[in-house]
Structure 1
């Protein structure tokens, strides 16, 4: 079941179009990563998806309904922004009370259980929290409403390694226990790779491609090629080669469209070894933006 559906979504600021026909589906109970360079439109897309901005064109459905100016749908959506503007003078305990009043589904026991691990002093004022503590608080508060959909914009920003693992564990627990669906934007591609079921890659207000983590990696191939002697000229002749480097006669090659013809061409050129080696999501992102 699709819990998030975007169809040909466009958004402009004045004459500057930021989103150029975005289409995206996210399945129930999945964790979907959104990656892209600064300025590619990720945050604008997220603000449209949470109903903060209204799209100029296209359709955004969350749980089967339009989200803009729809309080019933917004009540089912948790949102952790990249900068959370809470009431700075409030104590953490006062924020808990605020969430209890705003969200009927807010579960204070779950919040206290989460904070047992994170260890925030609930008597502290919001303005006294570090960036990482504020992000942890925002994640815990929003997870405690048991949302059907969680939208998170750079939620690991400012968190140390231990806090990152704790927040990820909380998210996975909510997905497993309640079927929550997650869209998470992050610059930490290694983090997304180990955490998400699928991902979308944005560039210049468009989605380049989307799919499972394995499907994303299938676009490019990373090879280790060994020759008896230096043969760098062969990589200038082969189609699909994006970049290559070498240490002596051992070459590391990134290419698109690898198949049997290229394998045979390398063998005929004298390659002793032609071996595929693992490609990270970070490498896919870098080579997609060349």
Structure 2
């Protein structure tokens, strides 16, 4: 899927602006942003729930606005505006079979039976955990190539959560799909995604492939002899924490040469710490003025 120059305004306010992105088959991508950053609007725009103000979306080089059949390749259930509540699972099965030509009924029946989801249940009568599990089953059995999952683990207890993730990861290992997940639980997200997109100021401003990030970036904690932070650190890092004389920073392009140059400044403390997705989120979103702060520090 290729997204070109996507723009979406709501109530004369820009929510998404100039989004350009390629989603690759077989990749699990995390969509990360602060509350109100436009994650749900992004999903609704791609799924066709919102009309685009500008831009195009292509699947296999075809514009999905011109070829509506291509929308069968996209699965998304809107958490706020969906029609599921008043229907039994039996009726929902019929609907999704009609909506998705490749719907895998055999797998659906197997998974619902295995998870004790009675076909006569009404969706609204199920617990939030069971609803989350059921939506994941629908997503997998739709056989859509692009699954958009908006906070799919939110509010699920540990057992249900493991079950939901198990179903998702089993499917990824069997099929070549692109899965895009938003979640506020970055520790959970980090354990399953290959790629992280950071949505900030109406745009995707950072696009990290986690394998590359882990290979090239480092989180370093340092204390220097004087109260002045060396210029080398200011120029090559992003400040994560600054407390007293202790500087914790992320170096996105860390090399042996840079390490030697930092050690030449004779820090009292120089310690490499584990780098997490939470750190990446914080340095990019929670500390918008962190570099300005570090540039001005003489401590």
Q: CA deviation at 1:109?
A: 1.9
What do residues 162-196 of structure 1 show as CA deviations (whole Å, max 9, x unaligned)?
22222222222323323122111221211221111
Q: CA deviation at 1:9?
A: 1.0
What do residues 213-258 of structure 1 show as CA deviations (whole Å, max 9, x unaligned)?
1334578531144x6xx747243754135144569x9x46114465
**Do residues 235 (structure 1) and 229 (structure 2) align?**
yes
**Aligned twin of 2:272:** 276
Alpha-carbon distance change, 148 to 268 in structure 1, aligned in 2, over 3 angstroms: closer
**Do residues 152 (structure 1) and 149 (structure 2) align?**
yes
**Aligned twin of 1:10:** 7
Unaligned ranges ≥5, structure 1: none
TM-score by length of 1: 0.85
Equivalent residues in 2 for 1:54-93, closer than 5 Å:
54-68=51-65, 70-83=67-80, 85-93=82-90
Unaligned ranges ≥5, structure 2: 288-299
Q: CA deviation at 1:273?
A: 5.3
**Do residues 27 (structure 1) and 32 (structure 2) align?**
no
**Aligned twin of 2:120:** 123
Alpha-carbon distance change, 102 to 125 in structure 1, aligned in 2, over 3 angstroms: same
Q: Distance in 2 between matches of 1:241 and 1:177?
A: 39
**Aligned twin of 2:194:** 197
Alpha-carbon distance change, 62 to 183 in structure 1, aligned in 2, over 3 angstroms: farther
Contact 1:220-1:254 within 8 A present in 2 as well: no
Q: CA deviation at 1:265?
A: 5.6
Number of residue pairs aligned between Structure 1 and Structure 2: 282
Equivalent residues in 2 for 1:108-187, closer than 5 Å:
108-187=105-184
Q: Distance in 2 between matches of 1:136 and 1:102?
A: 20
Alpha-carbon distance change, 87 to 202 in structure 1, aligned in 2, over 3 angstroms: closer
Q: Does 112-121 or 189-198 show the bigger shift?
A: 112-121
Alpha-carbon distance change, 87 to 170 in structure 1, aligned in 2, over 3 angstroms: closer
Q: Distance in 2 between matches of 1:83 and 1:14?
A: 18
Q: Distance in 1 between matches of 2:116 and 2:226?
A: 56
**Aligned twin of 1:42:** 39
**Do residues 287 (structure 1) and 283 (structure 2) align?**
yes
Q: CA deviation at 1:66?
A: 2.2
Alpha-carbon distance change, 173 to 140 in structure 1, aligned in 2, over 3 angstroms: same
**Do residues 211 (structure 1) and 208 (structure 2) align?**
yes
TM-score by length of 2: 0.82
Q: Distance in 1 between matches of 2:50 and 2:133?
A: 25
Q: What is the root-mean-square deviation in Å for CA atoms of aligned residues?
A: 2.8
Q: CA deviation at 1:23?
A: 0.6
